[in-house]
């Protein structure tokens, strides 16, 4: 590479060069210079924290046609390519040096060959375009949660999205001096056709754990390109392992309790299991909907939202089920929609509760009812993974501690999945180890018809984080077991399941989750009792009856309570067998794992011998 400063002076005008050199960091300068030499942009724009610089990015997205203004002030629409609508799991790989083994479940490629491949694809990818250099941070600035990041991209849409999703941190970056301790992300949308990435067959997302560096090319979808999201989660998990904290795929929810107290819980749920709707329960506080950093301080656990905005699935958001989000998406404020239908300047999406237009523009181009794609598939009015991007402070129930550098005290952890007849609606673990092993590390969730053309296929997803693990599963589980060793106040672990069914009908209503969360809040403060079962602690009927009336103004019957909290013994035993088989093939699984599962099997068999295969909560 040419002399770094000489190269930077060649491509940057005086104003942008001065902005970059004000950050006295050699690794940063080398990163930017290397990206320039590789991608060959026509010019470079360095974005500081100034409102003028951020406004420039926003306007550039409109000027370049990556976004189009909608009818409501502040709203814009972005379309990804028809075949670029989600995270690319198969082409998202770790660059693994010789001697590193991440485990059999993790997609990896030899570092030398992978680096050569992605560099070849990135070569000259920014010709005719402007390179944008952004400084952002994960976690509140000037806090122990903060991780500085530099993202380079040629997509104004990606850079604009980051303005809504993350904290600007050009000034924060100054505080790290010459430290190499920051995440680096290099993205290029590649060759464009009709303003979308053309060569999706050469889409690559490669993660270098050693250098804490992400490459992304030939894609615009934010999950593949906004490097501070799930791509940096992979880096953060690895860093957390070195520094003894947790980087998790979790929301943080503040629940209002008696006497004006607010109790904070985190929660990890696989896709389509109620994670977002739980994080946004009306009347409670949302501190984060997706990514949480958890750290130990003074014998307690404190958590912070790694992000400050929401990149959420817009499907099925309507005024009845999600009033707070629906309000934010239908009133004046800065919102980026992606891959919804636009009809007469108004965004429309699946399940929005409004009359559906017969024609408009969507990710397939000009759309009309009944339109088919090249494979003969009917194209719906909007993509099922259509998204909205909005700053979290735009929500009426945004937690006031969003930017608190101290984070918030975490008192509970929820693991949620989807199954028909294994798990009860809500349950408390016996202790942290029992919860980590039987609720978190053993998490399974049924697939939906939308993903596999058939329902009920149980998918293993420990801590709802399998897709983002950057270390062997056994090591990840051990991290969680070790995390509380020096704690005086250990969070309580709960499990939820909103998808029980009987003869095809759901046994829980969409709003029932509010009751389960209120029950957890009372349990954390030891203000109500619980029933001990073979798999955990469940609510008493009288407590739920009262809470259903107080929270939802609904009558809750004993008959329904029994149906919901029956223990299905054969199904629970079968799950233990499946989980033991999975971890039996995982090298290094802690011995305590099998001990805890074995004890649960024994409790289930003893209860089965006494009460039968279907155990009523009234039997205990």
The yes-or-no verdict on residue 455 having pLDDT over 70 is: no
| pLDDT recorded at residue 448 | 53
Residue 573 and residue 601 in contact, taking contact as beta carbons nearer than 8 Å:
yes
Is 273 a residue of the active site? yes
Calpha distance 396→391 (Å, rounded): 12
Instruction: Measure the CA–CA gap between 267 and 320, rounded to whole angstroms.
Output: 23
Q: How far apart are CA 617 and CA 555, in angstroms?
A: 19
Q: What is the mean pLDDT of residues 391-412?
A: 97
- Residues 167-210: tens digit of each pLDDT: 999 999 999 999 999 999 999 999 999 999 999 999 999 999 99
Model pLDDT for residues 499-558, shown as the tens digit of each residue: 999 888 888 888 899 999 999 999 999 999 999 999 999 999 999 999 999 999 999 999
**Which range (16-20, 498-502, 614-618) has the least confidence?**
498-502
E strand or H helix at 524: helix 513-524
Question: pLDDT band at 454, cuts 50/70/90?
Answer: very low
pLDDT confidence bin for 450, thresholds 50/70/90: very low
Helix ranges (H only) for 12-64 are 14-21, 26-39, 51-63
- Asked if residue 600 has pLDDT above 90, the reply is yes
Rounded average pLDDT over 277-283: 92
| Sign of the C-alpha dihedral computed for residues 65, 66, 71 and 75 taken in this order | negative
What is the pLDDT at residue 452? Answer: 35
CA-CA distance, 437 to 429, in Å (whole number)?
10
Query: Residue 430 burial by CB count (10 A; 0-12/13-18/19+): exposed, middle or buried?
Result: middle
Nearest to 464 by CA among 488, 444, 487: 444
**Cα separation of 537 and 428, whole Å?**
5
What domains lie within the chain, and their CATH numbers?
4-66+90-243 (3.40.449.10), 247-308+402-619 (3.90.228.20), 311-394 (2.170.8.10)
How high is the pLDDT of residue 69?
98
* Cα gap 103→105, rounded to integer Å: 6
The candidate with the shortest Cα–Cα distance to 251, out of 265, 240, 241, is: 265
- The enclosing H or E element of 502 equals strand 501-502
Say if CB 25 and CB 149 are below 8 A apart: no
pLDDT of residue 2: 62
Q: Enter the tokens of residue 233.
A: 């989660």
Cα–Cα distance between 374 and 262 in angstroms, integer? Answer: 53
* pLDDT > 90? residue 217: yes
Q: What's the whole-number mean pLDDT along residues 379-390?
A: 95
Q: Give the global pTM.
A: 0.95
- The C-alpha atoms of residue 78 and residue 321 are separated, in whole angstroms, by 25
- CA-wise closest residue to 171 among 308, 49, 52, 29: 49
For 30-61, the pLDDT digits (tens) are 999 999 999 999 999 999 999 999 999 999 99
Q: What counts of helices (H) and strands (E) characterise the chain? A: 19, 37
Q: Which one is catalytic: 137, 150, 273, 348? A: 273
Q: Give the pLDDT score at 180.
A: 96
- What is the reported pLDDT for 451? 39
The pLDDT tens digits for 464-481 are: 999 999 999 999 999 999
Q: What is the 3-state secondary structure (H, E, C) of 359-373?
A: EEEECCEEEECCCEC
- Of 322, 433, 338, nearest to 389 by C-alpha is 338
User: Where on the phi/psi map is residue 553: left (φ > 0), alpha (ψ -120 to 50), or beta?
Assistant: left
In tens, the pLDDT along 311-332 reads: 999 999 999 888 889 999 999 9
């Amino acid at each position: 590479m040419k002399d770094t400063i000489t190269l930077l002076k060649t491509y940057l005008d005086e104003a942008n060069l001065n902005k970059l050199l004000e950050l006295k960091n050699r690794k940063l300068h080398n990163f930017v210079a290397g990206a320039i030499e590789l991608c060959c942009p026509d010019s470079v724009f360095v974005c500081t924290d100034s409102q003028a610089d951020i406004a420039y990015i926003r306007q550039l997205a409109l000027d370049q046609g990556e976004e189009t203004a909608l009818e409501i002030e502040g709203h814009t629409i972005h379309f990804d390519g028809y075949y670029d609508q989600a995270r690319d799991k198969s082409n998202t790989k770790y660059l693994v040096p010789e001697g590193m083994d991440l485990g059999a479940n993790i997609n990896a490629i030899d570092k030398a060959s992978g680096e050569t491949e992605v560099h070849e694809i990135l070569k000259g990818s920014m010709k005719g375009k402007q390179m944008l250099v952004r400084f952002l941070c994960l976690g509140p600035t000037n806090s122990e949660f903060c991780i500085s990041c530099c993202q380079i991209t040629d997509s104004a849409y990606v850079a604009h999205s980051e303005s809504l999703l993350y904290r600007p941190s050009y000034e924060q970056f100054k505080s790290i001096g010459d430290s190499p301790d920051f995440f680096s992300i290099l993205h290029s949308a590649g060759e464009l056709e009709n303003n979308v990435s053309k060569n999706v067959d050469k889409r690559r997302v490669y993660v270098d754990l050693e250098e804490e560096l992400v490459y992304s090319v030939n894609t615009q979808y934010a999950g593949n390109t906004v490097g501070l999201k799930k791509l940096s989660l992979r880096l953060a998990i690895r860093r957390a392992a070195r520094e003894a904290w947790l980087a998790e795929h979790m929301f943080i929810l503040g629940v209002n309790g008696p006497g004006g107290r607010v109790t904070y819980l985190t929660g990890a749920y696989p896709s389509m299991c109620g994670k977002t709707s739980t994080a946004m329960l009306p009347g409670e506080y949302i501190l984060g909907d997706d990514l949480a950093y958890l750290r130990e301080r003074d014998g307690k656990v404190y958590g912070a939202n790694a992000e400050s905005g929401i990149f959420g699935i817009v499907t099925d958001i309507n005024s009845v089920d999600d009033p707070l989000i629906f309000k934010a998406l239908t009133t004046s404020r800065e919102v980026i929609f992606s891959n919804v239908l636009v009809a007469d300047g108004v965004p429309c999406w699946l399940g929005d509760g409004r009359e559906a237009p017969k024609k408009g523009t969507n990710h397939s181009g000009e759309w009309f009812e009944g339109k088919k794609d090249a494979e003969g598939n009917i194209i719906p009015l909007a993509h099922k993974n259509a998204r909205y991007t909005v700053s979290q402070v735009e929500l009426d129930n945004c937690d006031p501690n969003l930017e608190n550098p101290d984070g918030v005290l975490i008192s509970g952890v929820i693991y949620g999945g989807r199954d028909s007849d294994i798990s009860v609606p809500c349950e408390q673990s016996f202790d942290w180890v029992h919860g980590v092993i039987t609720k978190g590390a053993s998490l399974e969730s049924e697939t939906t018809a939308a993903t596999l053309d058939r329902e009920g296929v149980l998918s293993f997803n420990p801590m709802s984080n399998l897709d983002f693990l950057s270390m062997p599963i056994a090591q990840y589980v051990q991290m969680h077991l070790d995390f509380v060793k020096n704690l005086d106040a250990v969070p309580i672990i709960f499990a939820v399941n909103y998808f029980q069914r009987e003869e095809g009908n759901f046994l829980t209503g969409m709003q029932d989750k509010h009751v389960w969360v209120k029950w957890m809040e009372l349990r954390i403060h030891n203000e109500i009792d619980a029933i001990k079962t073979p798999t955990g602690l469940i609510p008493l009927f009288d407590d739920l009856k009262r809470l259903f009336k107080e929270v939802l103004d609904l009558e809750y019957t004993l008959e329904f309570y029994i149906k919901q909290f029956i223990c299905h013994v054969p199904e629970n035993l079968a799950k233990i067998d499946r989980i033991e088989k999975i971890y039996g093939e995982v090298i290094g699984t802690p011995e305590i794992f099998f001990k805890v599962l074995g004890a649960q099997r024994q409790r289930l068999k003893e209860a089965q011998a006494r009460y039968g295969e279907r155990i009523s909560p009234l039997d205990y």
